[in-house]
Homo-oligomer: A and B are copies of this chain.
Amino acid sequence: MFSAQTYESRRAHLQRIVSNGIILLLGNADSPMNFEHNIYPFRQDSTFLYYFGIKEPNLAAIIDIENQETIVFGNELTMDQIVWMGRQETIQEKCFNSNVTKCLPFSDLSNYLENVIKRKQTVHYLPPYRSSNKILLSNLLGTKISALNPSEKLIKAVVAQRSIKEKQEIIEIEKALQTSVDMHLLAMKITKAGMKEKEIANAIQHLAADQGCPLSYPPIVTIHGEILHNSYQQHTLEKGQLLLNDSGAETDMGYAGDLTRTFPVGPRFSETQRAVYDIVLNSFTTARNLLRPGIAFKDVHMQACQALVEGLIELGLMRGNPEEAVQNHAHTLFFQCGLGHMMGLDVHDMEDLGEQYVGYTTEEPKDTNTFGLKSLRLGRQLQEGFVLTVEPGIYIIPDLIDQWQAENKLSNFINYQKVNEFRNFGGIRIEDNFVITPDSYQLLGPELLKTTIEIENFRSQYVS
């Protein structure tokens, strides 16, 4: 946990911004696997963590702005539960650690809110993403789930506050990245032909766990890097293939790391692999070098796309004017998604609060129609203190090629004949995390090998 003062002052700031009514923040409950009491590892809600720092299921908090009062609602263990679960720090004690002095039994929350509603005070709450909290909110507020109406004012206030990372948060994210880098180095050490993808994923998860870190998201460890959301990990690795490893750790406090490296199953890249890799790396460097306060991330994305196109033209897969190609979204045959996203207490930071608030603004709204841009999670102007990922890639997706070619889509920019020679190439992504500084950016966490030479030098120590 951070200092009690940290949580208190975060809440004080939130109160000033929201300025009236009651703020209701729900923690998470345990999530059942195959029956109620067989549960997944507990993950606290990130906003609750941000304002209270308490990792404990079945809590809720009220911030009564007019009365300047903060109350945490939760049930202390009964003697029966102490027999079963052992003595633990009480909720009262935990609350004290974040300067909350008033704790009440969870059952009091319902009455409390009834009175608030009678007094016609506004209850500000965030959009629930877990079904258990949808039901809880519906019961607490006497509103149908379908009629729940989260507070835009609260959402915007939370997003504004959580978007600018404090120094101590940056330190936490760098801790997550230290473990994440260790995970990636381990993967690069142990990967060899004959292993299954899953074995690499298991090993890096073990390493993270031994460092006290859960994974910040289900890892993508695959020889089919072109499949963007790939949870299948049963392939056996073969020499000549590339392995894409997109994985990161989360600290005990909940801060995420999110790194991707793509490296050969053997000791070296093939010439084709190297060429494509260098295009992605050049796009990565182009994007990274543009990072600074004031630039719209959508523009960074577009520049990264142009760098990809320039490389693909050189390689013969695309043609024509690179700028025009990008304007026509021709690059989306190879790069179907976005360049990056905000990161913090969530790997896609605050995704539960809505992309329109986190990655965009009313003045810079999201393009929700155009293939490619509709998958760009972050488009808005960057500010000092934003933490984000930069993760360009080239993904050769046979189904998509066939679809486009059947329409002869954008054939002035795409050389389909050449593209088809690459149809089993797979995919490459390179991803690091950055914080925006007063005039540019800073890499977060330790440097992790990135050039083909660095990777080959490292790999050749372990495989032949």
Contacts and interface: CB of A to CB of B under 8 A. Distances in A.
Contacts of A399: 79, 82-83, 87
Nearest to A349: B35
Given A85-B227, A131-B132, A34 B43 contact: yes
A76 B288 CA distance: 38
Contacts of A37: 348, 351
A397 interface: yes
A198 interface: yes
23 contacts: A32-B130, A33-B43, A34-B45, A34-B46, A34-B346, A35-B346, A35-B352, A37-B348, A38-B218, A38-B347, A39-B218, A83-B228, A84-B336, A85-B227, A85-B228, A85-B230, A131-B132, A131-B135, A134-B135, A135-B135, A135-B145, A198-B212, A199-B210
A254 to B, nearest CB: 8
A36 B84 CA distance: 32
Interface in A73-106: 79, 82-88
A334 to B, nearest CB: 12
Nearest to A230: B86
A217 B34 CA distance: 10
Interface string A385-429: 000000000000101100100000000000000000000000000
A298 interface: no
Given A86-B230, A224-B86, A38 B351 contact: yes
A345 interface: yes
A203 to B, nearest CB: 7
Given A135-B135, A145-B135, A198-B209, A400 B83 contact: yes
A348 to B, nearest CB: 6
Nearest to A40: B40
A35 B135 contact: no
A397 B352 contact: no
Contact of A348 (B38, B43, B87, B131): B38
A348 B39 CA distance: 12
A5 B134 CA distance: 40
A285 interface: no
A86 B227 contact: yes
A387 to B, nearest CB: 16
B131 A131 contact: yes
B34 A345 contact: yes
A403 B79 contact: yes
A34 B132 contact: no
B129 A36 contact: yes
Contacts of A43: 33-34
B31 A31 contact: yes
Q: Closest 10 CB pairs between A and B?
A: A131-B131, A86-B227, A35-B352, A131-B132, A35-B351, A206-B206, A202-B209, A33-B43, A40-B40, A36-B129
Contacts of A217: 38
Interface in A39-87: 39-41, 43, 45-46, 79, 82-87
B38 A397 contact: no
A450 B186 CA distance: 36
Contacts of A206: 202-203, 205-206
Nearest to A371: B80
A112 interface: no
Nearest to A49: B34
A229 interface: yes
A228 B86 CA distance: 8
A36 B229 CA distance: 15
A352 B36 contact: yes
Contacts of A134: 131, 135
A38 B346 CA distance: 9
Nearest to A336: B83
Interface in A127-142: 129-132, 134-135
A2 interface: no
Given A41-B218, A199-B210, A202-B210, 15 more contacts: A31-B31, A32-B130, A35-B129, A37-B348, A37-B351, A39-B218, A82-B399, A83-B397, A83-B399, A84-B227, A84-B228, A84-B229, A131-B131, A198-B210, A205-B206
